[in-house]
Each structure stands twice: as structure tokens, then as C-alpha cells.
């Protein structure tokens, strides 16, 4: 896959994951908070319903409910309204300015038909607080209460609770009381009121049961319970009988409880809180938004990737062009990392072009240098062969000199090639520069001029053979370019942490504009390459390479007409003179 494709796919993938995850988290959090909000609202509604249901169970009308409704409305911040089933108002926490009640009521408040959605914990469909004729008289209640209190003192294990009709009883698993607490058994006996009420209930039940077809005669004494609680849990096996019991209980309790009423719960302003949920439309909206963002992210990634890839493509094309041999190719260098890469490429391209130019110049110079001596040798040999010239000692000496010239040229070229390749090998050892200078001066003595050495002991670590070659080139030039009667002085001395060699002559000097070129390869002030000066133009280039290989430098100062001074500065000067090695038998210093 291309870089562009990879960057684009990668960004798209990351964006897709990020958007998907964010959308999922957002929908989860929203759904959670909606559920909690709805749960809270439902709990409030259920509590209000239960309060009003309790009121209806204990009162046979809604006459005095207004104060309860107002109190509850204040507590919950909701508008509470009760109406009859035909929508005549019974009580309303709102006032005349309040909006109309909604069409659908929240629930019907009827203690004989409990709404199991709003009160799911209820064990029957008749509210336990609706006790009707089962409610104990004050006297009965007082009596049983006294027994219950004694029972609690008799044995703290007995927890005494009061049934909704006021009948106290101890929670002890239904067994009869024994030991000192047998008096507690009087709590298990129904009171006169309860007995009368259950007799009445059995009468009503019998009326219903007797109407059932194929019914075996039943004295219905099972319906005479010990307490009212029994009715709430009693479930006769035959469903018809169970239905009869329920309707008998409703018939018996109806006169004691408030008639059914419709309950309306709204906000004080009348706006019903809109049920918010993540419906299909909601999910679609989230999905569409996510897709839209993804498309935007995709477009942005595409733009970025294209911009990023454009300079890379330009570089690739330029590299191919360069590979095909075009050294003039350059790319537009902008800013940033890719800009730096482009600048680096341009620098490399320029360097390659320069190297190529130097290589071509070198080949042409070498060919040129070789042509003269080779032409001489060939010409004279042909003349001898044709009998035009005689191979006398003078001719042979001249031919030898030409071939030595060729030899020197080839040696110089090999040294330069080594220097270029970094394979110029040095064999450093502690030496005295004064000795090296003395050897060079001795080798270049000439009758035409005065060549002298002026040295002080200068110790350093260097390759003596290569140093002789470097200083020899300078001295040879000085001798060559100084007319008869002139003076050449070679000085060697320590200078601070360096060792210095200076070759000064009283020759023609070098023109100021030529000074920067004297160390270039094949450069000569005298372009005619006359035999008198004879050099190839490589001597100073080699000297500079040799000196630099030692970590030193070479410079020139010249006064046209009065002479030139070449100065070689070498580091690694050893200030403590070392004991020089004994010279070998041929008198040369060990190399």
C-alpha cells in the first residue's frame, strides 16, 4: 500500500475508533442518567400514590384531603389533583391560573384495587390499611395493649407489633405462649369486634358461594380467622371461592373507605416532563453525526496526507532523475523535517555535480600532463628508428629524464588517490624536525643559489618519510622558482604547542590573486608548463594532504618580486626531548 494510502487509512481508523467510542460512551451515560431520572420520578409518584391510598383507606370520603394534597405538593414540588371518575374535582394543589389537567390520569386511587405498578410490594389488591369493621374499639385496644406491654417485659424475645386494625400481636412464629408468659395467649383470641366483623364477612361470602354452581355444602368456618391479617394472605384453592372472598371483602369494606378517585400528577406549569430515551431516531441521529464527523475527519486526513506525500513524491522523482545521471536536478526546499530532507538532497546533488566536474577536470589534466613526455619519448624513438637521430648517450639521458617525469607524475597521482580514499597510511614515531630539515636541505643543494637550514631542536611524533616528502616539495619549489644568486632558508622551531617549518625564498613571489589557488591540483602560475619549471602542479596539493593527515596546516604568504614563505604548522609537539634512536649504518634515520 502506498504511504498516502497508509497514512489515510490509519488516520481514518483512529478517527473512527475515537468517534465510535465517544458516541458509545455518550449514549451509555445519557441512557444511565435518563434511567436514573425516570426512576427518581417514578419513586416520587409511587410515594405520593401510597400516601393518598393510606388516606383513602382510613377515611370514608375525600372531604378533608385538600390539606394533605397541599402538603404533599409542597414536599415534592409537583401539582397534585384528585377528581371523581367523572372528573369532578375533589382536591387540587394548583390554583385557578394552573393549566388544565391532562387527559390521562396517573392512576386511580382506590384502596380496594391497589395499582400494582405503583405499589408492587403489596401482597393483595386490597390495601392493608383498609380495615373497616375490623378496627378495634378503644377499650379492646387498651386491654390488648396492656397485655402486649406485659409480654414484652415477660420475655424481651417477643417483639410486639400492631396490626392495621389496632390488634397487637407478638412475632413468635404462631406457636402459643408458654412458661411465665402464657397470659400472652389472650392476644391470639379475636376480639368481639373482630368476631362480629368476620361473622358479617362470612355472611357476605356465603351469599356469593351459594350462587356458585356444583358447589359442595361448606360451613365456611375456614373464613373465620383469628385476625384480620389472615384475609390478606388467604388464598382459597378454588379460584371461584377466592373471587367470592375478594368481592365479599370489598363489599364489606366499601362503606368505610373513600370512593375511587383519579390522581393527576403534573409539573406546576403543566408541562409533563418529556420522556427522553434513546429511541431508534436518537440512535440514528448519533450514528449520522458520527458518520458526518468521520467524513470530516476523512477529508482532513486526506488533505494532510496529500500535503505530506507531495514533497516525498518530488524527492522520489528527483532521486530517480539523479540515478539516471542528471546532476543538475534540485527540489523545492520548504520548512520542517521534509524541508531539511530536501535541502540535504540539494546539497548532495550539488556536491555530486562538483565531484563529477573535478573528476572530469582531473582526467583531462592527467591526459594533458602525460601527453607531453609521452609525445617526446615517442617522437625521439621514431626518429631513431627511422635513422634521423642517433641513440647517443645524450638522447638516452633525455629519454630517461622524460620517463622519470612520467614516473613522478604517476607516483603523485597515486598519493593523491590514497589521500582522497583516506588510505594514506602514516607510521608516526618520535622525531626531531631539525634532522628531517637537514636531510631535505642536503638533498636539494644547488650551485646557483644559497640553500640554508636554520633550526632548533623540535621534537614531535610524526611519519619522517612523509614529512620529508612534504617539506621536500616546498624546498624543491623554492629552489625551482628562485633565480640564480637567490637565497632559500628553511627554518624549524617549536611555537607554543606546535612545531613549525618555514621555507622562505627570494624568488619571484606569487601574485595576490594566485595565492588562493596554489594548493589546487594541476594549478600553476605559469600555464605554459615550460621545461624550465617542469612541475606537474601536484606538489603543493600533495604537501597539503600530507600535512593535514598529521593534523597540521600549511599556509603561504608572498610578496611579488621579493619572495614567498610557506609555513607548515604541526601539532603534537613533544616538549621533552626524547633520546634519539641510533642511526642505521647507511646514515639515515630509522623510518
CB of residue 360 to ligand ADP, shortest distance in Å: 20
Contact 492, 514 (CB under 8 A): no
Rule CB under 6 A: choose which of 40, 350, 526, 548 binds ligand ADP.
526
Question: Which of 166, 373, 535, 552 is the binder for ligand ADP (CB under 6 A)?
Answer: 535
Nearest-approach distance from CB 484 to ligand ADP, in angstroms: 15
What's 190-223 look like in SS3?
CCHHHHHHHHHHHHHHHHHHHCCCCCCCCCCHHH
Cβ at position 438, least distance to ligand ADP in Å:
20
- 442, 500 in Cβ contact below 8 A? no
CB nearer to ligand ADP: give 536 or 569: 536
Q: Which is nearer to ligand ADP, 248 or 503 (CB)?
A: 503
Q: Is the dihedral of CA 581, 583, 588, 591 positive or negative?
A: negative
Which residue, 227 or 473, is less far from ligand ADP as judged by CB?
A: 473
Piece of 78-86, 196-204, 455-463, 530-538 that binds ligand ADP (CB under 6 A): 530-538
- DSSP character for 517? G
Which among 472, 446, 453, 441 has a CA at the least distance from the CA of 535? 472
What three-state secondary structure class fits 55?
helix
- Phi and psi of 334, rounded to 5°? -90, -150
Question: Distance (Å, rounded) from C-alpha 426 to C-alpha 423?
Answer: 9
Rounded Cα distance, 37 and 293, in Å: 30
What Cα–Cα distance (Å) separates residue 75 from each residue in 44, 346, 506?
10, 82, 120
Question: Closest Cα to residue 221, out of 198, 237, 204?
Answer: 198
CB of 379 to ligand ADP, least distance (A): 23
| Interaction residues for ligand ADP, span 427-486 (CB under 6 A) | 473, 477-478, 481
Smallest separation (angstroms) from ligand ADP to the CB of 549: 17
Name the minimum Å distance from CB 454 to ligand ADP: 17
DSSP state of 182: G
User: Please, which residue, 205 or 490, has the CB nearer to ligand ADP?
Assistant: 490
For residues 222 and 216, give the distance between their C-alpha atoms in angstroms, rounded to a whole number.
15
Please, what is the minimum distance in Å from the beta carbon of residue 402 to ligand ADP? 16
Site for ligand ADP in 559-578 (CB under 6 A): 564
Total residues contacting ligand ADP by CB under 6 A comes to 21
- Interacting residues with ligand ADP between 476 and 515 (CB under 6 A): 477-478, 481, 505, 507-508, 510
**DSSP string for residues in 402-435:** HHHHHHHHHHHHHHHHHHHHT------EEEEHHH
Which one, 194 or 502, has the nearer CB to ligand ADP?
Answer: 502
494, β-bridge pairs: 499
- Binding region for ligand ADP (CB under 6 A) out of 42-50, 223-231, 418-426, 536-544: 536-544
The yes or no reply on residue 540 touching ligand ADP (CB under 6 A) is yes
In whole angstroms, give the CA distance from residue 158 to residue 170.
6
Least distance in angstroms from the C-beta of 551 to ligand ADP: 22
Query: Which residues ranging from 230 to 259 are in contact with ligand ADP (CB under 6 A)?
Result: none
**Closest-approach residue to ligand ADP (CB):** 535
Q: Name the minimum Å distance from CB 537 to ligand ADP.
A: 4
Which positions lie near ligand ADP, rule CB under 6 A?
Answer: 473, 477-478, 481, 505, 507-508, 510, 518, 523-526, 535-541, 564
Amino acid at each position: 500500500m502506498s504511504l498516502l494510502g497508509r497514512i489515510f487509512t490509519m488516520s481514518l481508523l483512529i478517527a473512527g475508533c475515537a468517534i465510535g467510542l465517544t458516541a458509545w460512551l455518550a449514549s451509555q451515560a445519557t441512557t444511565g442518567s435518563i434511567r436514573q431520572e425516570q426512576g427518581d420520578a417514578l419513586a416520587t409518584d409511587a410515594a405520593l400514590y401510597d400516601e393518598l391510598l393510606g388516606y383513602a383507606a382510613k377515611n370514608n370520603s375525600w372531604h378533608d384531603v385538600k390539606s394533605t394534597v397541599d402538603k404533599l405538593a409542597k414536599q415534592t414540588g409537583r401539582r397534585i389533583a384528585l377528581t371523581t371518575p367523572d372528573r369532578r374535582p375533589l382536591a387540587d394543589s394548583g390554583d385557578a391560573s394552573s393549566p388544565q389537567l391532562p387527559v390521562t390520569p396517573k392512576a386511580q386511587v382506590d384502596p380496594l384495587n391497589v395499582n400494582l405498578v405503583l405499589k408492587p410490594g403489596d401482597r393483595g389488591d386490597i390495601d392493608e390499611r383498609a380495615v373497616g369493621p375490623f378496627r378495634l374499639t378503644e377499650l379492646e385496644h387498651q386491654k390488648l395493649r396492656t397485655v402486649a406491654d406485659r409480654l414484652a417485659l415477660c420475655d424481651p424475645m417477643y417483639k410486639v407489633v400492631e396490626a392495621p386494625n389496632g390488634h397487637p400481636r407478638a412475632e413468635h412464629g404462631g406457636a402459643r405462649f408458654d412458661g411465665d408468659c402464657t397470659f400472652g395467649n389472650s392476644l391470639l383470641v379475636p376480639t368481639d369486634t373482630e368476631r362480629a366483623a368476620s361473622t358479617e364477612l362470612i355472611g357476605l361470602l356465603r351469599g356469593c358461594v351459594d350462587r356458585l354452581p356444583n358447589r359442595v355444602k361448606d360451613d365456611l368456618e375456614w373464613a373465620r380467622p383469628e385476625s384480620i391479617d389472615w384475609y390478606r394472605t388467604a388464598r382459597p384453592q378454588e379460584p371461584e371461592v377466592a373471587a367470592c372472598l375478594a368481592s365479599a371483602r370489598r363489599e364489606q369494606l366499601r362503606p368505610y373507605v373513600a370512593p375511587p378517585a383519579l390522581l393527576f400528577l403534573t409539573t406546576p406549569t403543566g408541562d409533563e416532563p418529556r420522556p427522553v430515551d434513546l429511541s431508534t431516531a436518537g440512535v440514528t441521529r448519533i450514528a449520522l453525526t458520527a458518520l458526518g464527523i468521520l467524513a470530516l475527519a476523512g477529508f482532513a486526513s486526506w488533505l494532510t496526507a496529500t500535503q505530506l506525500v507531495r514533497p516525498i513524491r518530488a524527492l522520489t522523482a528527483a532521486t530517480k532523475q539523479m540515478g539516471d545521471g542528471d546532476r543538475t536536478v534540485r527540489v523545492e526546499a520548504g520548512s520542517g523535517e521534509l524541508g531539511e530532507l530536501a535541502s540535504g538532497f540539494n546539497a548532495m546533488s550539488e556536491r555530486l555535480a562538483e565531484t563529477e566536474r573535478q573528476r572530469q577536470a582531473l582526467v583531462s589534466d592527467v591526459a594533458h600532463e602525460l601527453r607531453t613526455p609521452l609525445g617526446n619519448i615517442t617522437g625521439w624513438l621514431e626518429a631513431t628508428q627511422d635513422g634521423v637521430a642517433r641513440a647517443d648517450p645524450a638522447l638516452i639521458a633525455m629519454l630517461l629524464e622524460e620517463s622519470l617525469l612520467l614516473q613522478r607524475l604517476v607516483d603523485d597521482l597515486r598519493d593523491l588517490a590514497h589521500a582522497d580514499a583516506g588510505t594514506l597510511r602514516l607510521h608516526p614515531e618520535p622525531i626531531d624536525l631539525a634532522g628531517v630539515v637537514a636531510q631535505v636541505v642536503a638533498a636539494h643543494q644547488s650551485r646557483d643559489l644559497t640553500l640554508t637550514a636554520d633550526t632548533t631542536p623540535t621534537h614531535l611524533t610524526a611519519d619522517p618519510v612523509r614529512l620529508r616528502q612534504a617539506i621536500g616539495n616546498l624546498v624543491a619549489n623554492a629552489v625551482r622558482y628562485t633565480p640564480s644568486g637567490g637565497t632559500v632558508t628553511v627554518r624549524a622551531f617549536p611555537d607554543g604547542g606546535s612545531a613549525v617549518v618555514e621555507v622562505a625564498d627570494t624568488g619571484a613571489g606569487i601574485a595576490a590573486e594566485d595565492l588562493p589557488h596554489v594548493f589546487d591540483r594541476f594549478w600553476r602560475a605559469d600555464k605554459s608548463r615550460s621545461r624550465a619549471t617542469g612541475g606537474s602542479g601536484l606538489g603543493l596539493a600533495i604537501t597539503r594532504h600530507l600535512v593535514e593527515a598529521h593534523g597540521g596546516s600549511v599556509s603561504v604568504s608572498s610578496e611579488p618580486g621579493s619572495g614567498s614563505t610557506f609555513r607548515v604548522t604541526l601539532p603534537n609537539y613533544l616538549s621533552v626531548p626524547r633520546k634519539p634512536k641510533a642511526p642505521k649504518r647507511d646514515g639515515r634515520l630509522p623510518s
